[in-house]
Amino acid sequence: MKLKTVSSSLAKRIAKIKSFNPNSPGLKEANVFGLPFTPEESEIVLIPVPWEATVSYGGGTSKGPAAILEASAQVDLFHDEFPELWKQGIAMTDISKQLQTQSKAAKKSAAKIIDAFGDGKSPQNDPKLKKALDEVNVASAKMIDHVEGITTEWLNKGKLVGLVGGDHSTPLGFFKALSKKYKKYGILQIDAHMDLRKAYEGFTYSHASIMYNTLQLKEVTKLVQLGIRDFCEEENNFAEKNANRVKVYTYADVRKKQYEGASWKKMCDEIIASLPEHVHISFDIDGLDPKLCPNTGTPVAGGFEFHEITYLLSALAKSKKKIISFDLNEVSPGEDDWDGNVGSRMLFHLCGVLAKSKGLIK
């Protein structure tokens, strides 16, 4: 029965490929990148998670998946590195209105906590604030369970899965799903921040605590952080204490080596060599220069150029390492379409390197 379903989905995709013109403008009613495929027909399934409960500076990341989806229609499907990528099928599942509603409510409760900390108050000493804190933690836990469930479902169907956030707390459920599938895997984190704080501002699942929480999973044997340029003493101490599992490439260190003669290729080779066999890419858009993502929640001066990162990702896909999945987070739309534009183009490249690493395309 399962083989019949797979054959039927493949047949539908083949039929759509024959009738689809990749040179035409993307249709409004089409799926991501203007493609005509459903998730069932596609090799790559994208899971949108419109969530931003614990953001403490800029907001809007819950609108990131919708902004990327809208901007993706402007991405030309002929990619000189992955010309056959679109034929593999890429589709985004529906953006959950229920998650959006829950995120909005949780963010409202979280704002009370964040304001209290700003006033020097502790939620633990105020019953109303403690209740608000509990509400946020419960809601975030439910979001994580939701993500774990839906990513597990698509992974079990044999799909390649990417997550589109939302703030950077969103992939924890995905990591839990991957831990059921892989006994050992590593994470390449591209980010301006370490995200190694324990329960930042009291929120168990804060976006600033994603990698601390992730490292509680024994299956995650290595975390390689790239582009870090804003972190606290607590995070630095945690990274040094766990140096056997955490490798940090700060942005300043990378640039210093380049200023002293190291090529970007040499740096990429070193980064890739530090990763284990199976690799998940966790991409916070603020790892890029803020001119490329001016509306992201916590922009930091410095950061990589777009093609520096795509070069690294392509090199990873060509290496003996195996990319198993990815997440893209913290894209926040502004008054123009710039953030969504950059995010959607990076998303297309992430789909390309995932498909290439898995052997779907040459």
Residue 57 has pLDDT above 80, yes or no: no
Cis before 166 (ω within 30): yes
Sign of CA dihedral 97, 53, 180, 248: positive
User: In the sheet where 246-250 sits, what is the strand order?
Assistant: 90-92, 44-49, 160-165, 322-329, 278-284, 185-190, 220-228, 246-250
Mean pLDDT confidence for 256-277:
98
- Indicate the domain borders of the chain: 2-357
Tokens at 272, concatenated: 């890739």
Residue 122 has pLDDT above 90, yes or no: no
Which residue reads 């895997």 in tokens?
Answer: 185
Residue 279 has pLDDT above 60, yes or no: yes
Terminal Cα distance for the chain, rounded = 31
Percent of the chain beyond pLDDT 90? 88
| Cα separation values, 97 from 28, 51, 87, 286, 292, Å | 19, 11, 29, 26, 28
Distance of alpha carbon 261 from alpha carbon 105, whole angstroms: 51
Q: Which has the minimum average pLDDT: 4-8, 27-31, 184-188?
A: 4-8
Residue 1 has pLDDT above 50, yes or no: no
Residue 42 has pLDDT above 60, yes or no: yes
Mean pLDDT confidence for 245-256:
98
Distance of alpha carbon 67 from alpha carbon 243, whole angstroms: 37
What value does the mean pLDDT of the chain take? 95
| Per-residue pLDDT at 47 | 98
| Per-residue pLDDT at 123 | 79
| Per-residue pLDDT at 195 | 98
From the number of C-beta atoms within 10 Å of its C-beta (0-12, 13-18, 19+), residue 245 rates as middle
2-357: what fold? Arginase; Chain A (3.40.800)
Mean pLDDT confidence for 306-324:
98
Choose among 213, 247, 243: nearest CA to 227: 247
Specify the pTM: 0.96
Torsion of CA 336, 341, 344, 346, to 10 degrees: -130
Distance of alpha carbon 99 from alpha carbon 146, whole angstroms: 9
pLDDT tens for each residue of 73-119: 999 999 999 999 999 999 999 999 999 999 999 999 999 998 888 78
| Per-residue pLDDT at 58 | 66
Residue 166 has pLDDT above 50, yes or no: yes
Tokens at 224, concatenated: 């390689």
Residue 125 has pLDDT above 90, yes or no: no
Confidence class for position 59, pLDDT limits 50, 70, 90: confident
| Residue 58 backbone zone (phi > 0: left; psi -120 to 50: alpha; other: beta) | beta
Residue 2 has pLDDT above 50, yes or no: no
| Per-residue pLDDT at 267 | 98
Confidence class for position 36, pLDDT limits 50, 70, 90: very high
